[in-house]
Amino acid sequence: MISGIGALQFKSSIGGDDAVTSLLQSGATPSAGGNIGTSFAEALSQAASKTVNTMENAEQVSMQALKGDADTRQVVDAVMSAQQALQTAVAIRDKVVSAYLEVSRMGI
């Protein structure tokens, strides 16, 4: 059984399916854009991985502090870093959803 931050799974809630995730993983590219879709998917994947790693680090430092192996300063630094990473991830998600909704409202 996996517990803690590492147990998080990223799922799309738009339309009740994994449309966005499958689009990004499929490497869909615009006809005139080369491999822009692939690099965008990789950038999102790397950002999500870094966020999860930062949160896992904060969790590990907090556990070390409970055992007496880390001082308060280390815990505060790790938790503040995790908070910034999470706020950034939420902001990026909000922008992606906003862009998706804007594109979906465009006339064809």
Q: Which pLDDT tens digit goes with each residue over 11-44?
A: 443 343 443 344 344 444 444 555 555 688 898 8
Q: pTM of the full predicted structure?
A: 0.60
Q: What is the dihedral of CA 39, 28, 99, 101, to 10 degrees?
A: -160
| DSSP for 30-73, written as a single string | -TTSTTHHHHHHHHHHHHHHHHHHHHHHHHHHHHHHHHTSS-HH
Q: What is the mean pLDDT of the chain?
A: 76
